[in-house]
Amino acid sequence: MQTQRTRMTRDNTAVLLIDHQVGLMTGVRDMTVSDLKHNVVGLAKAAKVLGLPIVAVTTARDSMWGPTASELKEALGGGEIMDRSTVNAWDYPPFVEAVKATKRDHLIIAGLSFEVCASLPAISAREEGYQPIIAIDACGTFSTAKREAGIARLTTLGIEISDYATLMVEIMGDNADPKALDVYAALDMPFAVLMGQVAGALSR
């Protein structure tokens, strides 16, 4: 079942972080690992500032792909990160139950690798009536060809792709929001924080 697209808000959106594991990160080739960590950590921190629920999961962390990157684990503040064996996280019932428990039908998804760990749950979630959107720069994959193929597939299926900062700022909605500077700081956009501080000083 597909639903008509509606805007993301703090009340209807959850963030799903899938398989940002150290072993998988060693294979990332479409961006630097430092950029990937920066972006997914920024996404997690900004989501926390905005009060968005986060559901995090790994795959085969004890046998194949290792733990969640320490920077992301720290940003999540010790929240539960479940583990599974299925390729598609949506095929793991406890993960789906955790998503349903958020009572949000808009899902911002980031996963490693992009074309599998982010895209497959997005496709499955949309089949169940959710509105998924992928934060592609908080994903990463193993070649440019895989990135392009994944984008082509999602485009054909009509699933949205954006970047982590745009999605968080869209949900924030207003630069006059009391949390605006905290959101920009979480996104690690120092120029925005600096300009906000300058504007605040000038208004005094």
User: How crowded is residue 19: how many other Cβ atoms within 10 Å of its Cβ?
Assistant: 26
pLDDT per residue over 81-111, tens digit each? 999 999 999 999 999 999 999 999 999 999 9
Mean pLDDT of 149-153: 97
Active site residue ranges: 117
Q: Which DSSP helix (H) or strand (E) runs through 38?
A: helix 33-49
**pLDDT tens profile 10-44:** 999 999 999 999 999 999 999 999 999 999 999 99
CATH class of 13-174: alpha beta
Query: Which helix (H) or strand (E) segment is 161 a member of?
Result: strand 160-162
Every domain of the chain and the residues it spans: 13-174
Question: Given this model, what pLDDT does residue 78 score?
Answer: 81
